[in-house]
């Protein structure tokens, strides 16, 4: 573990990034190639919907990889993946890639709590909440804010000896929500506490959403002014405005025709030329053919039958002279801007 070229050495972050970090990114491309772009897209879409409304693409990609690997190695699906991994002469996989796939396949979804921050050392001592006798050293390569004693983490971790290393997208919570989180997970998974870790492996997206929702409720996230802010939803953080180069009714009609835009509180009759017309933007993440149940998994409902399953990415406000776009983040803002500019005639703000 003290070797400077060992990627799992807590003092060798460059080795970890060079082998494991890049290897995990390459794993998506290798798996997509070997299972086929269409099957990879179906799996990715299914995982994206399970995480909705979260849009952390690396988190979605890594969990998609783990699902394919798990099904392949258990012999439930994708025999070509298992054959390639077991074939030592397979030219498309280098030794580093095999190491990464081995660690990815052995990774574990865990709920842990920090018991010692180990000041000046690059790791924290953590305990497994659902296996109280198990302790790990959580290796932190400086990718997140310092953790306090009692902090919670839930996610999928790579495991090496007695150390764990987070795959991007870990939930970080406070000690105050531990009781609520544990109770909610047990209720959701509907199993005995002793068997939680086993069931947890296949339910990471749902439990991740559960944890973030509990922490958000505790912190008052999504409410203006915090818990005492009156319960009004917070506005999207990104905003940009344009002048309309067309009549307002033409802009509204163009957005009404597009399936991504749903008008909020539309007038039953007529048209308001002076007020503001609001559209929420909902999308299926990568959507393509109708969703079908996937081999090795339970049947999935088609999200197009349930508006709550699609992903809200922002809103459009159309006034008499200006059109304003809001979005959850900068990436989605650029995508929405490009789409709106194709649909509506606009000029610089």
Q: Quick check: 285 and 332 in contact, CB under 8 A? A: no
Q: What tokens appear for 116 in the block?
A: 């010692």
> H helices of 87-222, where?
95-106, 178-189, 196-200, 204-219
Range among 56-65, 219-228, 335-344 with highest mean pLDDT value: 335-344
Our measurement of the distance from residue 337's CA atom to the centroid of its chain's CA atoms, rounded to an integer in Å, reads 23
Is residue 47 scored above 80 in pLDDT? yes
Q: Quote the mean pLDDT of the chain.
A: 82
More confident residue, 299 or 284: 284
- Residue 129's nearest CA partner among 199, 179, 164 is 179
- Helices 57-73, 37-51: crossing angle, 10 deg rounding: 120
Helix (H) or strand (E) holding 253: helix 248-257
Q: Which of 2-6, 52-56, 81-85, 207-211 is the least confident region?
A: 52-56
Instruction: Report, as an integer, the average pLDDT of 122-140.
Output: 92
| Residue 305 φ then ψ, to 5° | -90, 0
Which pLDDT score, from 0 to 100, does residue 15 have?
85
In the chain, the percentage of residues whose pLDDT exceeds 90 is 30
Confidence of residue 142 (pLDDT cuts 50, 70, 90): low
pTM: 0.64
Return d(Cα 314, Cα 281) in angstroms, integer: 5
- Helices 79-86, 22-35: crossing angle, 10 deg rounding: 130
Return d(Cα 30, Cα 282) in angstroms, integer: 31
Helix (H) or strand (E) holding 256: helix 248-257
Is residue 176 scored above 70 in pLDDT? yes
Return d(Cα 115, Cα 157) in angstroms, integer: 18
User: Which domains can be identified in the chain, with CATH numbers?
Assistant: 13-106 (no CATH), 108-218 (2.40.50), 238-347 (no CATH)
Return d(Cα 197, Cα 201) in angstroms, integer: 7
């Amino acid at each position: 573990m003290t070797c400077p070229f060992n990627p799992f050495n807590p003092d060798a972050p460059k080795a970890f990034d060079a082998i494991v970090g890049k290897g995990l990114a390459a794993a998506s491309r290798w798996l997509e190639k070997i299972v086929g772009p269409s099957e990879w897209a179906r799996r990715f879409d299914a995982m994206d919907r399970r995480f909705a409304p979260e849009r952390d693409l690396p988190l979605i990609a890594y969990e998609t990889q783990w699902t394919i690997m798990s099904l392949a190695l258990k012999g439930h699906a994708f025999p070509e993946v298992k054959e390639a991994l077991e074939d030592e002469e397979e030219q498309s996989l280098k030794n580093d890639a095999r190491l990464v796939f081995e660690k990815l396949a052995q990774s574990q979804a865990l709920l842990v709590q920090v018991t010692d921050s180990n000041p000046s050392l690059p790791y924290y001592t953590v305990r497994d909440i659902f296996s109280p006798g198990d302790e790990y050293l959580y290796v932190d390569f400086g990718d997140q804010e310092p953790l306090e004693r009692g902090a919670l983490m839930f996610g999928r971790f790579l495991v090496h000896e007695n150390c764990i290393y987070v795959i991007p997208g870990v939930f970080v919570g406070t000690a105050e929500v531990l009781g609520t989180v544990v109770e909610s997970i047990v209720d959701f998974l509907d199993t005995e506490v002793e068997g939680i870790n086993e069931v947890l492996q296949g339910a990471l997206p749902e439990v991740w959403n559960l944890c973030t929702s509990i922490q958000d409720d505790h912190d008052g996230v999504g409410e203006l002014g915090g818990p005492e802010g009156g319960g009004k939803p917070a506005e999207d953080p990104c905003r940009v405005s344009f002048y309309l180069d067309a009549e307002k009714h033409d802009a509204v009609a163009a957005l009404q025709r597009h399936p991504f835009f749903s008008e909020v509180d539309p007038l039953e009759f007529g048209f308001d030329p002076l007020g503001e017309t609001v559209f929420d933007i909902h999308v299926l993440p990568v959507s393509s053919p109708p969703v079908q149940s996937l081999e090795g998994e339970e049947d999935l409902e088609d999200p197009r039958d349930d508006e709550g399953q699609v992903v809200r990415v922002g809103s459009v406000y159309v006034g008499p002279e200006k059109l304003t776009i809001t979005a959850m983040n900068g990436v989605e803002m650029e995508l929405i801007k490009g789409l709106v500019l194709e649909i509506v005639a606009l000029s610089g703000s």
